[in-house]
Structure 1
């Protein structure tokens, strides 16, 4: 068994995950290879590939394999014939681990998280709104990144709502990497055939729990420039629910009531802002100026009109 640490958990894994830092101690989570059920009795389906029931979830991916997540403590992987482990890890460390975090009672937002002078901010939004690209732009300007796909929020005594660091890498589209001065050909692809690459954070990874100072909801629009607007009242609560990772799985896994209480508390304690972002690269500096990270100027040119993805 390999031993790793991720989101403040010790993991014992039969699959090697070289992206993760090694760790020792009793395991909180077990990752094994073995037979998985073909379906979950009385499960509620989410799309064609995901089913959820109290205490468990099943992800079935044709040509990839099945992942059975149980009680926030066990992930069983049944790979498809001939599939490379690197392809399995793409789903294991993203969607599958997100489901496990929810089962463990964590409040998980679909957001990238970047360090600020006095804590951190979350960049939330639907897939394709530019969360990882914006985090990569801040990283290129000297800001450390806590996490890419997940924002795991915990209430820390004396500190309030805070974010637990995630894996030490970003997954960024090739055109955005080129704009930031990286050569995508020198970085590992997320999976073959996808123009998205793993950007190791190195010393640019913030590896400690930091207080959450704000949640910025990315909303692409066709306006002439970037705009930021504070949310209040019910809009905060709605934003928290809508940007919860895989919120559609909460009720079938028996987690809806506990999550609602967590979201209500967070909405009353942390500022929520809607960040309207134009869909061209030339607006990047203007977008960054609206964030409290206050980065310096990038050493790389960011003036073309490629789409921010």
Structure 2
């Protein structure tokens, strides 16, 4: 690692980083102040004895550390992620976890709702295509982009409540696609960066299909894969809307039993569920229902 700092705009915030991210939106000039920082080194001493005792993560209010096969990360003060390479990982391997996991935790601490889903601008509306890994979000997002939609965020949507409205902020102009989608879209992997810790996906530039302005969220489409006889799709009403929003929170699996929605977090979840249309789509993985789902989404925007 060199001593150079790199500066970016991401989720409406200014980022100072010791690591260079080719996929992020770079700032042409160094900002006077930065909102968040990625800093190489600086892991506190108390972490290492805990690792030796068998812990792989530690959580306090607005503070978290964890390690995996690529890196060791310490997220704190609603501002900073300290990191080093770890185990058999390299610095480049560790950096793969910044755009998703690390940012999801850090921005949640900054009171941004982090939804596991892609954010798209379509027909002058802003929608989220949400779902668990393997639900088909990337396939749907790719096909919607072919139909004229613009990408705001690929797999992690960040939403802030501002003056009573819920605003989604653009992430960066890159989409991650699985190998079957790469082949389906006739893309050459020789020119693409592989994300080996995310189901062996590849990063595809969306600079020409990127919407770089914050926008009010209008609708969320939750996609689930289940053992259903046929495709089901419906708009959700009442208290079930809140349950869908909570189910779509990105980082709950990481916190496990430690995860809790604080009262002000719940207020945001309730507000979002009240203000936007929410649809649930259940599909059978063995059935080809792609066009039917796309038509349903477009007809309900």
Task: Give the TM-score normalised by structure 2.
Answer: 0.86
2:49 aligned with 1:61: no
Query: How large is the RMSD of aligned CA atoms in angstroms?
Result: 2.8
Match of 1:263 in 2: 269
Match of 1:29 in 2: 36
**1:223 to partner: Cα distance:** 4.1
Match of 2:169 in 1: 164
Q: What CA distance in whole angstroms lies between the structure 1 residues aligned with 2:286 and 2:156?
A: 25
Deviations 1:122-169 (A, max 9, x none): 0111121111221122123331111012111223448x3221111211
Alignment: residue pair count: 289
Gaps of 5+ in 1: 296-309
Match of 1:141 among 125, 136, 147: 147
2:85 aligned with 1:79: yes
8 Å Cα contact 1:110-1:243 kept in structure 2: yes
Gaps of 5+ in 2: none
**1:255 to partner: Cα distance:** 5.6
8 Å Cα contact 1:124-1:218 kept in structure 2: yes
Match of 2:247 in 1: 242
Q: What CA distance in whole angstroms lies between the structure 1 residues aligned with 2:256 and 2:172?
A: 23
Match of 2:126 among 110, 116, 120: 120
8 Å Cα contact 1:103-1:255 kept in structure 2: no
2:91 aligned with 1:89: no
Q: 1:195 to 1:66 in 2, by over 3 A?
A: closer
Find the residue that maps to 2:134 and give its secondary structure.
coil
Task: Give the TM-score normalised by structure 1.
Answer: 0.84
Q: What CA distance in whole angstroms lies between the structure 2 residues aligned with 1:293 and 1:164?
A: 24
Match of 2:203 in 1: 198
8 Å Cα contact 2:12-2:214 kept in structure 1: no
Q: What CA distance in whole angstroms lies between the structure 1 residues aligned with 2:184 and 2:130?
A: 22
Match of 1:16 in 2: 20
**1:190 to partner: Cα distance:** 0.8
Deviations 1:102-127 (A, max 9, x none): 01111111111111112211011112
Match of 1:304 in 2: none
8 Å Cα contact 2:84-2:94 kept in structure 1: no
8 Å Cα contact 1:114-1:145 kept in structure 2: yes
Q: What CA distance in whole angstroms lies between the structure 2 residues aligned with 1:16 and 1:238?
A: 38
Q: 1:275 to 1:193 in 2, by over 3 A?
A: closer
2:178 aligned with 1:173: yes
Match of 1:183 in 2: 188
